[in-house]
Chains A and B, each alone.
Chain A
Amino acid sequence: MIDSKRRMLLQSSLGVGALGVAVSAGLLAPRAVLASWPEEAFHATDKATALSSLLGSDATEASDAVKIKAPDIAENGAVVPVTVETETAGVKSIAIISAGNNTPLIASFDLGESAVPFVTTRIKMAQTSDVIAVVQTPDGLLSAAKEVKVTIGGCGG
């Protein structure tokens, strides 16, 4: 995974002169540049395209092994806390998707060898929809969903 990203970076940096110069001048840590940003996946307007672009497949299997925690009702769609956790071994990455957003892919976390498959963050939600966690394992993509009701500007209604 990391290696393929490195290749992508090498290719793309040929085209981006300024970035290449910055790297060679030591202005940017190579690590920071290494993780190229999957623009296509983040700009995708549907979940399937985003997943295919990010992980090479949109074939997810709903699994109890993946636990997603989010509020039932979010009074402020701009700040919705989401936790994704799993006991599954060999997890390579965790992606968080908000199905009702214009661009559903919110974030993707690539886990290193010592990382525990656990992540918490806060996301923006445009409307009431499912929040979906997709966990990449050696056996394929596992997912779990949780509906969050968004009442922007409302008083808990």
Chain B
Amino acid sequence: MSSIKIRANVDDGVTTVRCLMSHEMETGLRKDKKTGEPIPAHFIQNVTAKWNDQVVMTALWSGGVSKNPYLSFKFNGGAPGDQVEISWVDNMGETETGTADIS
């Protein structure tokens, strides 16, 4: 089970996608309060959103995006039952992909 939660619904030919990802989004600027050691940067750098097999949007992010990022976007087209796929890659090379059907 992917940790990316996705909701997609189509209205009047425009599909709205909302998604919530689970990620620390550590900037690398914070320090551990107990040890004073800097906390290494760990954040999502690339997000790719696909409708069926077509890329509708790619996002480039810094650590300035909030922890457990929320993202919403829209595209023209889409029908109930079509698949939306969202995947991310972070600065440590970790990656995750989630899918949802348009309702």
Instruction: Identify which of residues 84-126 in chain A touch chain B, using a CB-to-CB cut-off of 8 Å.
Output: 98, 101-103, 105-112, 114-116, 118-124
Interface residues contributed by chain A, number (CB under 8 Å): 36
Q: A107-B59, A107-B60, A120-B71 are in contact. Are A114 and B66 (CB under 8 A)?
A: no
**For A119, what are the chain B residues with a Cβ–Cβ distance below 8 Å?**
57, 71-73
Bound-state CA distance A37–B46 (Å) is 7
CB atoms of B54 and A112 under 8 A apart: yes
**For A35, what are the chain B residues with a Cβ–Cβ distance below 8 Å?**
46, 48, 58, 60
Q: Is A155 an interface residue (CB 8 A)?
A: no
CB atoms of B55 and A124 under 8 A apart: no
Out of B29, B55, B76, which one reaches A116, CB within 8 Å? B76
> For chain B, what secondary structure do more than half of its interface residues adopt (helix, strand, loop), or is it mixed?
strand
Bound-state CA distance A109–B71 (Å) is 11
Bound-state CA distance A28–B90 (Å) is 13
CB atoms of A108 and B59 under 8 A apart: yes
CB atoms of A110 and B59 under 8 A apart: yes
Bound-state CA distance A106–B50 (Å) is 22
The 24 listed contacts between A and B (C-beta, < 8 Å) are: A31-B55, A32-B46, A32-B87, A32-B95, A33-B89, A38-B60, A78-B66, A78-B67, A79-B67, A83-B72, A105-B62, A107-B60, A112-B54, A114-B56, A114-B77, A115-B56, A115-B75, A116-B76, A119-B73, A120-B70, A121-B65, A121-B69, A121-B71, A123-B64
7 nearest A-B residue pairs (beta carbon): A106-B64, A116-B74, A120-B72, A122-B66, A42-B62, A112-B56, A108-B60
